[in-house]
Every structure is written in C-alpha cells, then in structure tokens.
Amino acid sequence: MIRLFLFVLFVNSLVLAQSVSLSGRVVDSLTAEPLINVNILIEGKNYGAISDNEGKFKINDLQNETVVVRFSYVGYKTKYFHFNLSSDTTITVKLTQKAIMFQESLVKGKYASIRETPVAFTNIASREIQRNLGARFLTDIIRSVPNVFVSEQGGGFADSRLSIRGFDQTSIAVMINGIPINNPENGEIYWSNWGDLSDVVQSIQVQRGLSATPYSVSSIGGVVNIITKSDFSNDNSFKIKSVISSENYKKFLFTFAASISDNLKLTGMISRITSDGYADQTWLDAYSYYFSLGWTLKNNLIEIQIMGSPQKHGQRMTPLTMDTWKLRGKRFNADWGYLNGQPLNLRDNEFHKPSITLNHVWQKNKNFVLSNSLYLSYGYGGGTVPPWSEFSRTDDGLIDFDKEWEFNSDNIDSTYSTELTRSDKALRFTKHIHTWIAFLSSANYKLNNGINLTFGLDGKYYSAENYSTLGNLLGGDYYIGSGNVNQDPDKLLYLGDKVDYDADSYARSLGVFLQAEHNNNVVNAYINLAFAITGYNRIDNFNYKYSDPKRETGWKRFPTYTIKAGINYNFNNYNNAYFNIGNYSKAPLSMNVFSYTNEPYADVKNEKVISAELGYGYNTEKMYLKLNTFITWWKDKAFNFAYYDPNSFQAYKFNIYGAEALHRGIEGEGKYNFSKNISLDGMFSVSLNEWLKDVTGYGHLEALPGVDIPVNAKIGGLYVGGFPMLKLNFGVDLTQQIFRGLQFYFNPKILFNGFHYPRLNISGRNDESVDLAQPSKIPNYYLLNLHLGFDWKMTRSFIKNFNLGMNIYNLLNKDYMIDAYESNTGDPQTTTVWLARDRWMDVSLMLGF
C-alpha cells in the first residue's frame, strides 16, 4: 500500500502539466456562507464543475486562453466571468440571491450551514458519493461521519442497521427531500424500499443530536437528510453507467436532464442491479427509477418527484456463534436449504413502494415565502418466513427441506382427508400493503428587526394490511390450523390461504411548529417549539370474533412536544462556537402500545429526552476543523421483545417501560489542503453510553395474555451496546492531471472501530442464574478501503465526460465482527455475531454526453 502511494507521488512529480486550472470558492454575497452544488460551466466547452460542501470547486485541463465561465445556482442570479488564463487561477465568486429564493423555500428539510447553524453536522457531496460508493448501498457512504455506525448485519441487499450516537434508527429521523421515511408504526427504516438512488443524490447531510429541523420528527440520535437532484438550469445532459463487482454484481443505469422550455426541466434515472450476493443465497434483482419535473412560473415553483425500487432479494437473518462460523465459513447462511435439488430460501423479501411528492413554493414578496409538500406512497410486497417450529437440518447445516417434503407428501391424516396429504410444516409468505400520506406546510416571514419566523403544520396518515399466507406446503396438499377464531379450526387450508395472523394497523399524527431565528452574520440564535399528537389504532381479524368490540382497539393518542434553542457566535472570519439545548417528548411506538392480541399495555408513557451540545469551528481556505461535545439523557425508554422457551414450548411477549440511559461524548472532524492536489481529512468520536438503572415490568404468555409475569431486567451500569463507542477515520485525497482533460484520483481511507459491546438480551438479564456482568467486548478492528480512478473531460467529442473508477474494500482482508447479540444464558460462547465480508472490489464506467 505504501509503495503504491509513493509510486503515484513519484509519477505525479514527473508529469509536466500542459494546461492550467481554475479553482476557488462560491459564497453568498451577503452572508459569505459557502454555496453547495453550484453549477460552474465553461461556455462553449460543455464541461465544468460543481461546488462541494465548502463551496469549493476546481476545473482542470484548461488551455492558456480567454474563457467565459458561468456560475448558476437555484435562487441566485447567474453570473458570467471572463478570465484570461495564463496560469493556475484561484478566485472567490459571490452570488446574489434573486427576489425569488427558491433554494431556501423548497421544503427539503432545514439544511445546516457552516458558521451559522448551531448543531453538529456533516455534508457529503455528490462528488464523493459518485467516486467512493461503488457497488455498496447508499448508507455505506456515511460511515465516515463521526459517531455514525452502519451494520450490514446478514449482508442481504440493504438489510442495514443505522445508529447515531448509540441510538438506533427508530430514534433517528431519516428523510428524503425533507420528508421523513421512518415507518410511522414502528419507526424502522426499510432501506431496500429506496433501492439505488445514489446516482440522483445531490447531497446528504447528517445532523447529530436534536438537529435544526423545525418540525416534529423523531431525532434523538440525529437527522439524515438525503437530497435528490432538482436542477432548474438550462443544461441538457445524458449519462450511462455500468458497475461490475464481486459475486457477479452487475449494475446498469442511465440518467438524463432535459430543458423542455426555459421554465420547465425534467430529470430522470432508471437502473437495474443483479447479484448472486456475498453470503449464500443472498441474491438480488432490483430496479430503480426516479423522475423529477420542475416548473417555474413568475413567483411560483412546482416540482413533482416520482421514485420507486421494485426488488427481490434473498436474506440471511440468523446470526451464529463463533464456533459455528469457524465450522461453516463466513459465507454460510443458515436460512436456506435444497428442495428437490433446487435452492430454497427460508427468508427472502420482495417489495415495491412507489411514491410521488409534490412540492410548491410561492413567494409573495422578498419577506414572505410559503412552501408546501405532499407525499403519497403505496407499498406492497412481503417475504418468505419460517413456521413457528424448527426444521431438521442436514449434516452441512442447511435446512433439510427434502426430509420435510418426504414426510408431508406421504402424510395421510384420515381425520381430515383420506386422499390428500397434510403438511406438518409449511413456509409462510407474509404480506404487507400500506397507504402513506404525509404533508408539510411551512411559511417563512422576515421581520424588519432581523428576526426570521418559520411556522407551519406537518402531518401523516398511515394504514397497513399485515397478514401471513401459506407460501409453500413442502409436498403436502393442505394445512390445518389457521389461528382464525372466525373460521372452522378443522378447515383445510391451501396455498395462499391466510394463517397465523391478519391485522390492520393505523397511525396518524398532526403537528404544529414555530421557529424564531436571528442572524446578523456574527450571532445566529434560534428557538424552536413543536407540538404534535400521534395516534394508533389496530383491527385484529384473527384473534377476535367479527362481532367482538375488542376486535378494534380504538385510537390511542399521545401528545408530544419539542423545545430546543441554540446560538452560534462568529469570533472572526475563521473561528466560531455554538451551543444548543433541547427537551423532547417522543410518542411510544405502536408495538409499545398494543400487544399482538389487541390487549393494551399498562402504564404506556412517552419517552423523554434532554440533550445539550457545545461546539467549536475553525474554517479557512486551507483547512477546516469542527469539534463538539454532547450529553443526552434518555428517560422512560421502552423495551418490546419476544422470547420462545424451547423447553416449555411457550412464547412470551414483554413490554417494559422505565429504562434510563445516558449518552455523552466528544466528536471531531476536519480537512487540511496541503496543496491544490493533496488533502488529508479525518474524524473521530469517543462516547460513553450506559443504562443508568435496572428496569421492572411485566410480560405475558402468548397463550394467556391476561396473566402477568414480573420482569426485573438487571441492566443498570451496563453499556447500551450495538455501537462502537470509539471511531477513527483518516483519508488522503490525491488528484493529478495526466494530460489535458484527463485527471487521476487516488483516495485511500482507514476506518477504526472499537469499544463495541453486544446488544443486550433483556429477557436473559431477568434470570438470576445468568452471569449479569458486562458482556464481552467485540474485538477492535480497522480496515482500509481504496478508491481510485480517472476523470476525462473531452471538449471536441460527442462524449463529453468519461469516468473509470475502481474501489477495493477491506484491502488488507481483515477478519472482524461487525455486530453481536448477547444470548439468553450470558455465556460469551453462545453470543451470536455477524462477521465482515472478505476483500472485494468493483469497477465502474461512466459516459456523459
């Protein structure tokens, strides 16, 4: 690795540049804040650059000549500059806002700004995504953000788990263009629903902590806002791209941007990915599409976005002990087997969630802007899941479907039929169908005294059908035992019939928010108030007679609030400091309100969060540095889990309130530009996340929902788990012109994770015979990823842009654990884990026209 790096530097020193470069920074003319994703175009040559998250840009391979450069940005007046280039030139460009400030008004989430917004945040620009993401899923690009952890878990497509500051994704607000996409019922993020949107992502901003988002969202850990491209310039472009990778991964896509008229612009993308998968039977077949139509008319802007990703993929959902991994190997998947010589998954997933978003902005005058967003989505799909009882296994650890087939195909039960065979075990196919409507309306009013008011409404309505069907009878003709009390228990059930459960769930919320902000370029202070009511309802079609009034729970409502404030002070042009504090009340998730039998849990209450943060920033043309410390107190955290006792064959359900946790830490990130070609970036985070006390509560047997079982989970003083509390990341970004138009880039990155403890098993912590000490720590590890490639801009060709990229992940082929789960016994030997993938790589080719 070191030899390769030195070789590249040596080659660079021998290359004689035959052309010059134009670089610099684009800022707001009034605030001097950097402008991100500004389009910079060399007139007559049809190529240029886009400013990064510091407002910086660079265009290489220019000749010694006079050029006209156009700087365009939505909401700002386009500027043209004439340059007589005789040597490398560096400039600062100041753009002036138009009277119609669409970039501020278009509701795509509150975007934090350097030296202005008093929160900890990190921007990831399109350039980094395009160069470094490769064949990975979009969440992988944010691994280099302080205190952010992404676990691939079993390695199925987008079966990822995201954590920020030790809080899992149910306590993180994930948004696409400012619209939260957390499931309203359980708070989860089903990343595979969003497929492959990376090539239309303009930027990603990760705000840690309570965030600067003014409206009511669940952001204990932070906010991840994914902004897609919506270019209203008059440029036309067309791009095709192909990516190939390990495990027969193949991706092909094309994107386009077309100016239909001066005020009508269409942007689109269509892609397909297929793969055999790293782990056994984690195959993938996914399509993705995205279309954005933008229209400007006088003081109005209208944008319609349509996106979706129909996909099917095999899953690996069962973590194993280290002894089993050593016996079976890293690629082993316990969730499949052979049936009649063909592979059959015990777990897979297929889903399609098309969505349409309508954005509208109306600016009455320079002081008042009204913006609205309406989001509509209809999702449908499901996946194969196992029955309640275990299958037999073959000597190599796979599920013995052939044995089950042999038994079922010869199992005549005369109680039900003398001709048809009865299936003893059958695979299920779970169905999920939902309708999701959300809206966000925001008004922005600038007062004469320098105070900016933002106020509005946000809400959502969600309804879902959840049921299980017979997906594969495994050799039998019928199955007995639907679990439906409205049905004859001896009814013969066939393929596609409903079994186990059938319930409709509903969630809705309505919120109001008000934020006052004062900014005089030295002091920026804000205070935010948000109030909301969240409600849940459930209809059970299996466990209650249709005439039983308990069949429907009725709406259970929970009022919530957010109060937060912050201040940023700019000491001079380079140094700033900020402080924020907030108090947040979070509604319980639906699963913490109702049991699976409509029985409401007792003592349901909101979770409460108090958080504070202090930060410092240093920013110059040559470097930037951001440091902050935080503390978050989480009270009345709820646990909801199931436990199956293999000895008594009883299933238990637990819902426990009252846990308290304290998360605190220090975070930092920075970048230093040694020269125009070489820069060093890095980040670190050190945190300590602990449960403060034991929790008590009650559970119940699934068969006897009215009988309480006392629980006393001894977790006080233990680490929260499931998250590396020590993270380090360093990267070198080297670019070098090879000859006119051709640039080489070389970007190695080192990531270190440590102080990572398994996720606790609360049910096991209730057993007095179990060792209640701190669970064994996951071994620390580091890995090296390498990103390199060539960018070629061609001015006198039908092809305008060419990119050839290569990414090598885990270059040193390190063995390490990425996740661990404490067992019921507390014995480290029975802790189940996920192991990381071996070294792998991808190669991409992009052509722009």
Across the range 335-342, mean pLDDT stands at 97
Across the range 321-336, mean pLDDT stands at 96
Contacts (Cβ under 8 Å, ≥6 apart) of 40: 26, 48, 49, 50, 51, 57, 59, 69, 70, 71
Q: What are the residue ranges spanned by the domains of the chain?
A: 19-98, 226-813+820-848
**What's the rounded Cα separation, in Å, for the pair 190 and 241?**
26
pLDDT tens figures, 648-695: 555 667 778 889 999 999 999 999 999 989 999 999 999 999 999 988
Domain 19-98 indexed as CATH 3.30.479.30:
no
Q: Does the pLDDT value for residue 104 go beyond 60?
A: no
Among 268, 281, 267, residue whose Cα is nearest residue 335: 281
pLDDT tens figures, 392-437: 999 999 999 999 999 999 999 999 999 999 999 999 999 999 999 9
Specify the pLDDT at position 644: 55
pLDDT tens figures, 769-789: 566 688 889 999 999 999 999
Residue 217 DSSP one-character state: -
Specify the pLDDT at position 14: 40
8 Å CB contact between 70 and 78: yes
What 3 state SS string does 654-698 have?
EEEEEEEEEEEEEEEEEEEECCCCEEEEEEEEEEEEEECCCEEEE
8 Å CB contact between 163 and 148: yes
pLDDT tens figures, 263-301: 888 999 999 999 999 999 999 999 999 999 988 888 888
* Residue 112 banded pLDDT, cuts 50, 70, 90: confident
pLDDT tens figures, 181-215: 999 999 999 999 887 888 889 889 999 998 888 88
Least reliable range by pLDDT among 29-33, 113-117, 755-759: 29-33
Across the range 558-581, mean pLDDT stands at 96
Specify the pLDDT at position 123: 92
DSSP code string of 270-309: EEEEEE--SSTT--EEEEEEEEEEEEEETTEEEEEEEEE-
Across the range 545-556, mean pLDDT stands at 94
Least reliable range by pLDDT among 371-380, 431-440, 632-641, 725-734: 632-641
8 Å CB contact between 829 and 323: yes
pLDDT tens figures, 426-474: 999 999 999 999 999 999 999 887 899 999 999 999 999 999 999 999 9
Q: Does the pLDDT value for residue 111 go beyond 80?
A: no
8 Å CB contact between 228 and 267: no
8 Å CB contact between 681 and 731: yes
Q: What does pTM read for this prediction?
A: 0.88
Q: Does the pLDDT value for residue 523 go beyond 90?
A: yes
Q: For all residues of the chain together, what is the average pLDDT? A: 89
Q: Hey, what are 16's tokens?
A: 């004689």
Across the range 18-46, mean pLDDT stands at 78
- The residues pairing with 270 across neighbouring beta strands, listed in sequence order, are 254, 289
* Residue 581 banded pLDDT, cuts 50, 70, 90: very high
Map tokens 């205190």 to a residue. Answer: 147
Helices in 382-426 by DSSP H: which ranges? 401-408
pLDDT tens figures, 589-599: 998 898 777 88
Q: Does the pLDDT value for residue 16 go beyond 50?
A: no
Q: Hey, what are 360's tokens?
A: 């509208």
Question: How large a percentage of the chain has pLDDT more than 70?
Answer: 90
* Residue 232 banded pLDDT, cuts 50, 70, 90: low
* Residue 2 banded pLDDT, cuts 50, 70, 90: very low
Across the range 608-620, mean pLDDT stands at 96
Specify the pLDDT at position 4: 47
pLDDT tens figures, 362-390: 988 888 999 999 999 999 999 999 998 88
Q: Is the dihedral of CA 398, 404, 405, 406 positive or negative?
A: positive
8 Å CB contact between 755 and 780: yes
Is 632 or 116 the better-scoring residue by pLDDT?
Answer: 632
Q: Does the pLDDT value for residue 318 go beyond 90?
A: yes
8 Å CB contact between 434 and 352: no
Least reliable range by pLDDT among 112-121, 345-354, 633-642, 725-734: 633-642
AA identity, residue 24: G
Least reliable range by pLDDT among 76-85, 158-167, 392-401: 76-85
**What's the rounded Cα separation, in Å, for the pair 63 and 260?**
33
Long-range contacts, 603-608 (Cβ 8 Å, 24+) = 603/657, 604/556, 604/558, 604/657, 605/636, 605/657, 606/558, 606/560, 606/636, 607/634, 607/635, 607/636, 607/637, 607/638, 608/583, 608/584, 608/634, 608/635, 608/636
Instruction: Please tell me the CATH code under which domain 226-813+820-848 is placed.
Output: 2.40.170.20
